[in-house]
A = this chain, B = another copy of it.
Amino acid sequence: MRIRELSRRSGVAIPTIKYYLREGLLDAGQATAANQAEYDEAHLRRLRLIRALVEVGRVSISSARAVIDALGRDDIPPHDLLGIAHNAVAPTRRPDRDSDQWRAARRRAGDYVAERGWRVSPDAIGLDQLADTLAALESLHVTEMLNGLDAYAEAAQSIARVEVANVVARRDPVRMLELVVIGTVLGDALLDALRLLAHEHESAVQLGADRPGRPARPDAQPEIC
Contacts and interface: CB of A to CB of B under 8 A. Distances in A.
Contact of A123 (B153, B183, B213): B213
Contacts of A141: 48
Interface string A151-168: 111111111111111111
Q: Chain copies in the assembly? A: 2
Nearest to A205: B119
B197 A83 contact: no
A156 B186 contact: no
A116 to B, nearest CB: 8
Interface stretch (A13-21, A24-32, A59-67, A124-132): A124-132
Interface in A15-70: 48, 51-52, 56
Nearest to A189: B133
A129 B162 contact: no
Interface string A68-95: 0000000111111011001000100000
Count chain B CB atoms within 10 A of each CB in A136, A139, A216 and give the residue with the most: A136
A188 B149 CA distance: 12
Given A119-B204, A144-B179, 7 more contacts: A82-B207, A120-B200, A133-B190, A155-B155, A161-B198, A163-B199, A164-B207
B201 A121 contact: no
Contacts of A174: none
